[in-house]
Chain A
Amino acid sequence: GEDVEQSLFLSVREGDSSVINCTYTDSSSTYLYWYKQEPGAGLQLLTYIFSNMDMKQDQRLTVLLNKKDKHLSLRIADTQTGDSAIYFCAETLYNNNDMRFGAGTRLTVKP
Chain B
Amino acid sequence: SQTIHQWPATLVQPVGSPLSLECTVEGTSNPNLYWYRQAAGRGLQLLFYSVGIGQISSEVPQNLSASRPQDRQFILSSKKLLLSDSGFYLCAWNVDRINEKLFFGSGTQLSVL
Contacts and interface: CB of A to CB of B under 8 A. Distances in A.
Interface of A: 2, 4, 8, 30-31, 33, 35, 40-45, 48, 88, 92, 94-99, 101-104
Interface of B: 6, 9, 41-44, 46, 49, 59, 90, 92, 97-107, 109
Nearest to A2: B43
B59 A98 contact: yes
A22 to B, nearest CB: 11
B98 A42 contact: no
Contacts of B102: 43, 45, 99
Nearest to B88: A40
Contact of B43 (A4, A40, A48): A4
- Interface of B, secondary structure class, is loop
A33 B101 contact: yes
Contacts of B106: 41-42
Contacts of A94: 99
A76 to B, nearest CB: 19
Contacts of B107: 40-42
B98 A95 contact: yes
A91 to B, nearest CB: 10
A94 to B, nearest CB: 8
B43 A98 contact: no
